[in-house]
């Protein structure tokens, strides 16, 4: 039975490592989109826009905000998964 727990422990550690890496990637992507959004707002504030261009800029801003919102949701889910894995690892460590 101990071998099963050892294998499970290894698999859970691998999953935790992957989740940690994914969290880093998500953070990097989120930071990039935030910088694009800030640059977009800066350009928007400096230009004299026609109503058509203003609508296009507004759409882009909405899309960037939606991307940021979705990234935040994925980051929250990743955090929950990481906590669950840590809890399971603690249980497996106690049993084995």
Integer angstrom CA distances of residue 56 from 37, 48, 50, 53, 70? 14, 13, 10, 5, 21
48-93 residue pLDDT tens: 666 667 788 889 989 999 999 999 999 999 999 999 998 988 888 7
5-41 residue pLDDT tens: 788 888 889 999 999 999 999 999 999 999 999 998 8
Judged against a pLDDT cut of 70, whether residue 96 lies above it is answered with no
First to last CA, the chain: 8
pTM of the predicted model, to two decimals? 0.76
64: Cβ contacts below 8 Å, ≥ 6 apart: 33, 36, 37, 40
């Amino acid at each position: 039975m101990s071998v099963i727990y050892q294998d499970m422990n290894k698999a859970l550690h691998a999953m935790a490592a992957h989740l940690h890496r994914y969290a880093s990637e998500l953070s990097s992507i989120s930071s990039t989109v935030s910088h694009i959004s800030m640059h977009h707002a800066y350009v928007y504030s400096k230009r004299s826009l026609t109503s058509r261009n203003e609508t296009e800029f507004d759409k882009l801003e909405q899309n960037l905000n939606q991307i940021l919102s979705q990234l935040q949701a994925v980051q929250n889910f990743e955090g929950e998964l990481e906590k669950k894995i840590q809890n399971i690892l603690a249980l497996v460590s106690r049993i084995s």
